[in-house]
Amino acid sequence: MSSQEVPRAAQQERSILYGIEAGFEFNRRNFDDPALEWRRLFSEVLGTFLLVLAGAGGGVVNAVSNGQISRAAAVTAPGLTVLAVILFMGAISGAHLNPAVSIAFAVRGNFPWLRVPGYIIAQLVGSTLAVLLLRAIFGNVGMLGATEPGPGISDWQAVLVEFVLTAGLVSTILGTASRAQNLGPISAFGVGAYIILAGLWSSPISGASMNPARSFGPDLVLWNFSHYWVYLVGPIAGALVAVGIAFILRGRGGGLSGIEAAQGKLDEILPQSADQPHGSAEAK
């Protein structure tokens, strides 16, 4: 390589790094825009509502229909719901739908800690609304889809299973949202498939919640938090371990693709439509 080619290559590398930093700064600036925050929070409420409606609804409808919902169907429905939610509105808020996921993205550095409390509250609200709707339609049946350790299973056994399951789930989420392996919307299939597979083999043990928000709604409406610590400690600890696994496999952070996966692309979607003049040729 000639002496002239070396500076040129260095200049190109600096240009690429500058472009990444500029893109990150633009994304961060727009994500911090409070005028857009309510859309993201609404997205988390709606997404978690749909997830819990499918997850808790399986147990409720099974009780109402005298066992017409098989275990395979009950664990498949939430996975397919997450797949659909990520595909149709992941670009708005990142479609976390899970406090453990929000915390993992923040620890990884892809998501501002300032936004974590709002996201978690939105997820808990969405879960509660779903269970209230189920109770209003069907009454207090099927324990309103509450997740509890199975017969003969201790809380400690259940918390360890939730820990392992969530570590795998969040590893899947972080792994498909990294600079080296950015799958974009296709990552929804991997996340949905993992949720289904985890439920197929472990739902009799712990209910395969992997999500403190999923378990919160039924427990709140039933006002029974006797086992809730299992679904709080297990998933959050598993999410933190998943961040460590991601660091070992791929290094620090997930690059710009990890930031976009965690924060969505609302800053790109909204201005394109909002800034369009009503009388312009493009709008006609």
C-alpha 111, offset from chain centre:
12
Question: Hey, how many other C-beta atoms are within 10 angstroms of the C-beta on 17?
Answer: 10
CA distances from 267 to 32, 93, 196, 231, 255 (A): 10, 10, 32, 34, 18
The whole-number pLDDT of residue 258 equals 78
pLDDT of residue 176: 82
Tokens read off for 184 = 């974009």
pLDDT at position 221, please? 98
DSSP 8-state class, residue 144:
G
d(CA 124, CA 49): 9
The pTM of this model reads 0.83
Question: For residues 130 and 134, what is the distance between their CA atoms, to the nearest angstrom?
Answer: 6
* Ramachandran angles phi, psi of 28, nearest 5°: -65, -40
**Sequential pLDDT tens for the chain (284 residues):** 544 544 554 454 454 444 444 444 444 444 556 677 899 999 999 999 999 999 999 999 999 999 999 999 999 999 999 999 999 998 899 999 999 999 999 999 999 999 999 999 999 999 999 999 999 999 999 999 999 999 999 999 999 999 999 999 999 999 887 555 556 678 889 999 999 999 999 999 999 999 999 999 999 999 999 999 999 999 999 999 999 999 998 888 767 777 888 888 776 666 554 444 444 433 33
Question: Cβ contacts of residue 183 below 8 Å, gap of 6+?
Answer: 176, 177, 190
Tell me the helix, strand and coil percentages in the chain, rounded to 5: 75, 0, 25
In SS3 terms, 81-140 reads as: HHHHHHHHHHHHHCCCCCHHHHHHHHHHCCCCHHHHHHHHHHHHHHHHHHHHHHHHHHCC
**Could you identify the residue written with the tokens 């727009």?**
30
Contact call for residues 240 and 128 (beta carbons, < 8 A): no
In angstroms, what is the C-alpha Rg of the chain? 21
Residue 20: predicted pLDDT: 41
